[in-house]
């Protein structure tokens, strides 16, 4: 958009607000510091830098630190918001913009839905909880804990009955957790379970699922071990974290302490392939001891 177009838009908006005596002003251009070459400013039509780049994530905003290397070392060991600095009582511009961007990303991954076409490409059957849409899922957690009537019929008709292990993938509270980790964790997990000589049921995707829904599924299929891979509640700047909930012979009386949980599965936490190997060992231990949760450690 050229300068004249910008001036015309501003003039129109101000006129609508009753400002008739409008004096033209100079348009201020935002220029990346990297565009200053040999002392001359080069104006570029490209977009502003991506604040998700490592140089901004690890940007040390602490001014006049007694020992800047200490802050740099601390920031190198964590993705937490360290060394953001401040201007008086206010945050500095780059950390503030990164905070807003990360917050938007976290909200997006909660609200968006996994596309059915994406599931079909990976051969995953799709069923749904009793929540009819994402809005109801977020406001009625109880509906995400049980299946709708169509899901019950599909699971009974399409899934293997009485397997040793049943694996379910669910969006939960993060679309990114499913799409970013599926290709690494699910094939590796299924192959690992089969290589261990275990009878594996038919994997499928549960839309709008909550953890408790795995109990109903386990009872429907009479599975010995039920594995639920579900998107975690996203944090600021981390929207791809997946959790594994494992339970032995779930029933109506199953409580949260009966579940064994492996969380923080993503590239920056427990790598998906490594998590798959850990889950296989966990399943073998559960089948051997015929229990899960806190009873597995007794």
pTM over cut 0.85: no
Listing DSSP states for 173-231 in one string gives T-HHHHHHHHHHHHHHHHHHHHHTT--B---EEEET--TTHHHHHHHHHT-SEEEEEEE
- Give the confidence band of 238 by pLDDT, cuts at 50, 70, 90: confident
Mean predicted confidence (pLDDT) in 40-54 = 65
Domain positions in the chain are: 1-48, 116-297
Answer for the pair 192, 280: CB distance below 8 angstroms, yes or no. yes
Amino acid 166: pLDDT: 98
> Per DSSP, which regions of the chain are E strands?
36-37, 40-41, 86-87, 90-91, 125-128, 165-170, 204-207, 225-231, 242-248, 260-265
Enumerate the known binding-site residues.
211, 232
Task: Compute the distance between CA of residue 230 and CA of residue 103 in angstroms, rounded to an integer.
Answer: 21
Q: What are phi and psi of 269, to 5 degrees?
A: -120, -120
Q: In whole numbers, what is the pLDDT of the chain averaged over residues?
A: 89
pLDDT higher than threshold 60 for residue 117: yes
Amino acid 23: pLDDT: 67
pLDDT higher than threshold 90 for residue 276: yes
pLDDT, one tens digit per residue, over 59-113 is 888 988 999 899 999 988 887 888 999 888 899 988 898 888 888 888 999 999 9
Amino acid 172: pLDDT: 96
pLDDT, one tens digit per residue, over 181-204 is 999 999 999 999 999 999 999 999
| DSSP designation for 84 | -
- Give the confidence band of 47 by pLDDT, cuts at 50, 70, 90: low
229 bridge partner residues? 169, 244
What are the percentages of helix, strand and coil residues in the chain, rounded to 5?
Answer: 45, 15, 40
Amino acid 15: pLDDT: 75
pLDDT higher than threshold 90 for residue 145: yes
Amino acid 109: pLDDT: 92
Enumerate the known binding-site residues for adenosylcob(III)alamin.
211, 232
Task: Compute the distance between CA of residue 115 and CA of residue 135 in angstroms, rounded to an integer.
Answer: 17
- Give the confidence band of 254 by pLDDT, cuts at 50, 70, 90: very high
- Give the confidence band of 115 by pLDDT, cuts at 50, 70, 90: very high
- Give the confidence band of 34 by pLDDT, cuts at 50, 70, 90: very low
| CATH number for the domain running over 116-297 | 3.40.50.11240
pLDDT higher than threshold 60 for residue 38: no
Tell me which of 40-54, 129-143, 281-295 is least confident: 40-54
pLDDT higher than threshold 90 for residue 11: no
Task: Compute the distance between CA of residue 291 and CA of residue 225 in angstroms, rounded to an integer.
Answer: 9
Task: Compute the distance between CA of residue 15 and CA of residue 138 in angstroms, rounded to an integer.
Answer: 43
């Amino acid at each position: 958009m050229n300068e004249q177009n910008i001036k015309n838009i501003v003039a129109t908006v101000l006129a609508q607000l009753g400002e008739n005596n409008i004096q033209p002003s100079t348009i201020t251009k935002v220029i990346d510091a990297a565009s200053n070459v040999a002392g001359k400013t080069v104006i570029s039509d490209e977009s502003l830098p991506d604040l998700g780049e490592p140089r901004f994530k690890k940007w040390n905003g602490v001014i006049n630190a007694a020992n800047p290397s200490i802050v740099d070392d601390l920031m190198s060991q964590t993705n937490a918001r360290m060394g953001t600095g401040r201007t008086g009582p206010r945050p500095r511009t780059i950390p503030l913009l990164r905070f807003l961007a990360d917050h938007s990303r976290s909200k997006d991954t909660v609200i968006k839905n996994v596309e059915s076409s994406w599931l079909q490409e990976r051969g995953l059957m799709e069923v749904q909880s009793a929540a009819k849409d994402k809005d109801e899922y977020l406001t009625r957690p109880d509906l995400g804990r049980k299946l709708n009537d169509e899901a019950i019929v599909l699971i009974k008709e399409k899934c293997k009955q009485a397997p040793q292990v049943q694996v379910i993938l669910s969006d939960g509270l993060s679309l990114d957790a499913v799409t970013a980790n599926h290709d690494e964790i699910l094939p590796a997990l299924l192959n690992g379970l089969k290589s261990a000589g275990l009878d594996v049921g038919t994997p499928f995707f549960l839309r709008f699922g909550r953890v408790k829904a795995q109990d109903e599924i386990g009872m429907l299929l009479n599975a010995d071990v039920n594995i639920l891979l579900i998107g975690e509640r996203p944090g600021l700047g981390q929207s791809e974290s997946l959790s594994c909930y494992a339970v032995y012979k779930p029933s109506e009386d199953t409580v949260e302490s009966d579940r064994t949980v492996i969380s923080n599965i993503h590239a920056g936490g427990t790598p998906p392939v490594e998590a798959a190997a850990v889950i296989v060992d966990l399943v073998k231990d559960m089948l051997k001891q015929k229990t899960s949760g806190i009873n597995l450690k007794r």
